[in-house]
Structure 1
Amino acid sequence: MLEGDTVTAQPQPSYESRLAYSFERTERLRKIGKALAYLILTAWAVMSLLPIYFTFIMSFDNLGKSLTMRDVRFWPLEPSLKNFRDLFQLDAPFWLEKRPVMRWFINSALVATIPTISNLIFDSMGGYALAKLKFPGRNLIFLSIVATMMIPGFVTFIPLYRMMHEYAWMDTYWALLFPGFAGVGGIFLMKQNIQTLPTSVLEAARIDACSEFKIYWRIVLPTAKPILAIIGITSFMGGWNSYFWPYLVSKSKKMLTLQAGLSSLMGAGISGMPPSLTDYGIVMAAAVIAAIPMIIVFFIFQKYVVQGITVGAVKG
């Protein structure tokens, strides 16, 4: 360095400017990450909805007895309701005549609605008794309920099957309905939810000469609507989608549920129908019919489901 030269110091950025730059950089990265997350979730949602969309579209197409990738279209070539007419036997082919789809639909409706109603009644009563009533063995009963929740459902099929056989309930509605009249999972959820209800409210109702049933009906049930909605939806969907148990206890095709009966439309070996006779358009129409009730029930009670999830997240 020559004599007389001056050194100019570079101004250092202030703490505030460095903090602002760091904040802007973090905010930019957060927005990029959020955009990528939305992009991935949107792509995942579209991929999940595509099979449902193609099933719906192909139910209005004349697929016949062959199904290839060329038949997967975004819009049917000749839209018609023929598959639905054939499904409900308005113009049924010969192989569908011995498969009463309307009877299967009614069976599924019964298996879904009656156990759902009984679940809502018995689960809420059991949860209220375990949460707010004092009686000998209450804790032991609750522990037994929790223990049974760890047993896989398929393990109970053999004793239930023997019970149905001993009671001569095979191929009857009793065999389809009885195993679903109450569920330990619903009792557990109701007990945990009702336990958060202040006991002072119930004591005040008892002082006002309210009976236990009136307390249960007027106070407990209205506060437990979100949990009741979750129990109702899961019970309904479980009953509507039941396949193995109805097929196990039904000796005749007329006692099958819709999900179990649909397998006989596929020529899957258990139906006795050659696979070459499978009309895939009718199968797609049946799948659409089977999905409609679950979609309707979910959208009707969606508000309560969201409330139940929120309550569970806060109180858990």
Structure 2
Amino acid sequence: MNKFLQNTIIFFGILAIINAYFFYIVYENYFVQYERIDKNYTTYLLSDSHGLPIAKYSEKYDFYNFSAASDSYVDMRRKLQYLIDNSKIQRLILTVDEHNLSQYRNYSNNIDRSNYFATVDDYNSIFDYITGQYIERYIPLINPKSRDIIKIYFQPRRTASGPTVLWNEFDANEKEAFTQQRIDKQFTNSGRSQLQLEALREIINICNQNNIELIGLKYPLTKEYLNGIKDSSFRADSILISKKIKVCDFSTLYENQDSLFANQDHLNERGGQLFTEVLFEKCVKE
């Protein structure tokens, strides 16, 4: 074996080892939790970060919380098809909050992670399929989000900061400022995302074709957020209502109970625990 070939093999061998190490870091800190799913339930909840406070409290009421921060309707459609192929799903509870059809979900999402649940039919070409399923997943430095995970992993560990400040501990001016920041992010563009709208309609069609009961869900919001959005809603709920699909609207449920919120539009742990029981009794329980 000539020297050049030997050096080339050694070089690529080292690259493979480094890549494998980076993949392990990304998988353990980014992919594994997203891909974890109990397939033995008949009722599943799909939503973005608004579903996280429900945590595992749902399992007490016999439905599975399959929510993930930043999930878009494209991600949820992929998850739904996976559940149909691999679980006993009979009922789907789907978030239809004011922001879910926002165009910001076109770039703030989990497309790189929900590739795990996708099939070849979800891609425009075989090249896109190979890129999404294999190249971006198994070569972490190609995926910008994976690169960020690696950077964070190697940063010095910061000492724990003070206790988390809950929504009821802010004054009126702070609440208004934080609320406006969130609204500016979610409702920057005036029109609905056609990509998310198409994915939502596909979710509805998939449920119809597979005899899955679909229920829309609107999460509790603070008074400040409700006042701030006014007529800014992209009305994902109206798509379901037009199809005569049940929508459970809890947006005003805790509007005067700030102690149950972590911020302007997310419940805290206690709020999530209490809301899970309400959700079951008024929306899920047969």
TM-score, reference length from structure 2: 0.22
From the two aligned structures, give the one with the greater helix fraction: 1
From the two aligned structures, give the one with the greater strand fraction: 2
Q: Which has the larger radius of gyration?
A: 1
TM-score, reference length from structure 1: 0.20
